[in-house]
Chains A and B, each alone.
Chain A
Amino acid sequence: MAHFEKAKSLNEWMDQRLAVNTIKRVMQTEYWIPKDINFLWAMGMVLAATFGILLISGIFLLMYYKPDVNLAFDSVNYTIMSEVGFGWLWRHIHGVAASLVFLIIYIHMFTGIYYGSYKKGRELIWLSGMLLFVTFSAEAFSGYMLPWGQMSYWAGMVITNLFSGGSLEAYGLVEWIRGDYVPGDAFLTRFFMLHVLLLPLAIIGLIVLHFGTLRLPHVNNQEGAEIDFEEAAELYKNGNHKEAKVIPFSPVFLSKDIFVMGIYFILFFYLVFYHFEFAMDPVNFDPADGLKTPAHIYPEWYFLWSYEILRPFSKDLGLVAFAIAQVIFFSLPFLDRSPNVAPANRRGLFHFWFWLMLVDMLVLTFMGKLPPTDALFANIGLVAALTFFALWVALPIITKLEKKL
């Protein structure tokens, strides 16, 4: 037993047993954040808050949801929507948050790309963030199965079929994933398990890792400037708040985060109360029917760009292209050969690369929503998909040629 003095306050009592003051210092009051940043740096906390909202609304949905192919559809569309007091609120919050979380993830990612926040020392931030993106995608897909409507069923059919590996014809693997020849009860219950337990656990773990990877390299800034955090912290602690280039994470920076969150939540609840239908596909209000394919199967908007990369090619080539598109962003810190940590507008050709990539992914997204029958749009989709890969091939070359700043 270690020696304990009698504590004079609750705080001291806690500090003796849990080192709360050290934790507070390391994580909050002496976690220095550069001043030279803008509202885009608040997206991380906006994401954390949105995840919290997904968790809370999910808990209430879980109280009435029934993971059974005969009961699931009605438990959502009848019980939760019209019997449970404010059940509709939890469902609309959950649906809107699931959609917006991807919008913010994309903004967060492209902010990181624009300002070079994945460069030397920050690679793990990028990699853990990408792991979060992949896990969130799996979480979104598994959640989409649960209402057991037509889109749930057919998205489940199409996506699990991808695992047959085209000409490899690994139907055994597909049936193993489903636990049945087609998506059925075993499929629904296992994706329910993934959605409410395994994947959220993984996400929480990854969020901790993602925060952890940020602590030592610190947050980037608008100029990509290297900051002597020791020196800047001394200035701040001595009361030179104006000259110091940094502020403490909490409560100073967090108050700015909370302001941005406030704006975000106005938009968020506007959508929840007045425009929730954008997150609710009408086709999914028909119960799942294995003998009737909807006229046009498409994923939610946040998967459209990679879906469009799958479409214009032959089956095997499409699968390979799709698989590469899913993981290619992981390689960004290693394909970018330039040592410059600076906003894209000061990085020559990379500036064009950034905007081309952004526009290309928007084009892919729009084309992915359109039916496959129109030849003009199919060709635009093909060009956009080829551009996507051309940009990744070009990245190491143009960044190698980049002048050192």
Chain B
Amino acid sequence: MSSRRDFMGFALGGFTAVGGIAALYAMKRSWDPLPSVKAAGFTTIDVSSAQPNVLNVEKWRGKPIFVLKKTADMKADDRDVIVGSDRFHISIGLCTHLGCIPAYLADEMKFKCACHGGEFDSSGHQIFGPPPSPLEIPPFKVDGTKIVLGEAGPEYKKMLDAGLTV
């Protein structure tokens, strides 16, 4: 008798558990970013008219993107994006501490975050305060004088492999 009841209990419990897990999966998927959100993920920037030491802020996936044409006396860095004969610093303009947007101080040639005082140099390396890592580089592809954000070109893959960004 009891074994038949046990069987019914296990059967009911088993089906309920499977249904419950399936429902949890559906709930998890409902919280996922929508396909339309993910698809709208490419931005093309033309850098041919950029001025040295003047920060341009573009928008990619809702995030600010720093585009800074380097002057001749700024130190070259492995993270620079080379377009023609010019070197550019391109990064996601969110402080790697907690995501505020650092401001660019052109005179001091550095980025400074107002939230917790973090600072980055003109190559995006952290030089002061709580930021644990350099400004991140978005996936990019150089296309003539244009840069396509969201697409991983060979230069980006090289930086990624070298661990220069995440």
User: B: which residues have CB within 8 A of A?
Assistant: 28, 31-34, 37, 41, 57, 59, 61-64, 97-101, 114-117, 130-132, 166
Q: Which of A154, A181, A297 contacts B33 (CB 8 A)?
A: A181
Q: Are A179 and B32 in contact (CB under 8 A)?
A: yes
Q: Which listed residue, A161, A177, A314, A372, touches B132 by the CB 8 Å rule?
A: A314
Q: Give the distance in Å from the alpha carbon of A316 to the alpha carbon of B132 in the complex.
A: 9
Given contacts A293-B101, A372-B116, contact A315 B130 (CB under 8 A): yes
Residue of A nearest to B131 (CB): A315
Contact B98 A179 (CB under 8 A): no
- Which residue from B64, B98, B117 sits with its C-beta under 8 Å from A373? B117
Q: Inside 8 A of B28's CB, which chain A residues have their CB?
A: 176
How distant is A131 from chain B, measured CB to nearest CB, in Å?
22
Minimum C-beta distance from B133 to chain A (A): 8
- Cβ of A161 and Cβ of B99 under 8 Å apart? yes
Distance (whole angstroms) from the CB of A179 to the closest CB of chain B: 5
Closest chain-B Cβ to A172's Cβ sits at a distance in Å of 10
19 cross-chain CB contacts under 8 A: A158-B99, A161-B99, A176-B33, A180-B33, A180-B37, A181-B33, A181-B61, A181-B63, A186-B34, A190-B31, A291-B57, A291-B64, A291-B101, A293-B101, A294-B114, A295-B114, A297-B100, A314-B130, A315-B132
Contact (Cβ within 8 A) B63 A290? yes
B32's partner among A176, A184, A291, A311 (CB-CB below 8 A) is A176
- In the complex, what distance in Å separates the CA atom of A157 from the CA atom of B101? 11
Interface of A is mostly: loop
Residues in A with CB closer than 8 Å to B131 are 315
Interface centre among A186, A290, A291, by most chain B C-beta atoms within 10 angstroms, is A291
Instruction: List residues of A whose CB falls within 8 A of some B CB.
Output: 154, 157-158, 161-162, 166-167, 169, 175-182, 184, 186, 190, 290-297, 311, 314-316, 318, 371-373
- A157 and B99 contacting across the interface, CB-CB below 8 Å: yes
**Chain A residues in 8 Å Cβ range of B34:** 179, 186
Q: Which chain B positions have C-beta within 8 A of A178?
A: 33
CB contacts (< 8 Å) of A162 on chain B: these are 98
Please give, as numbers and ranges, the residues of chain A lying within 8 Å of B166 by CB-CB distance. Answer: 169
Return chain B residues, CB-CB under 8 Å to A290: 59, 62-64
Q: Can you name the residue of chain B whose Cβ is closest to the Cβ of A296? A: B114
CB closest residue in chain A, given B113: A293
**In whole angstroms, what is the CA distance A154 to B61 when docked?**
16
CB-CB under 8 A from A311, the residues of chain B are 116
Contacts A166-B132, A179-B33, A186-B34 supplied; 8 other A-B pairs, CB < 8 Å? A157-B100, A167-B132, A176-B32, A176-B33, A190-B31, A291-B101, A315-B97, A371-B114
Sorted from nearest, which 5 A-B pairs have the closest CB atoms?
Answer: A182-B62, A181-B61, A293-B101, A161-B99, A293-B100
Task: Report the separation of the CA atoms of residues A297 and B97 in the bound assembly, to the nearest whole angstrom.
Answer: 13
A180 vs B100: C-alpha distance when bound (angstroms): 17
CB distance from B165 to the nearest CB of A (A): 11
Chain B residues closer than 8 Å to A318, beta-carbon distance? 130
Q: Which of B61, B114, B117 contacts A182 (CB 8 A)?
A: B61
**In contact, B59 and A291 (Cβ under 8 angstroms):** yes
A186 touches B99 (CB 8 A): no
Q: Which of B57, B61, B116, B131 has the most CB of A within 10 A?
A: B116
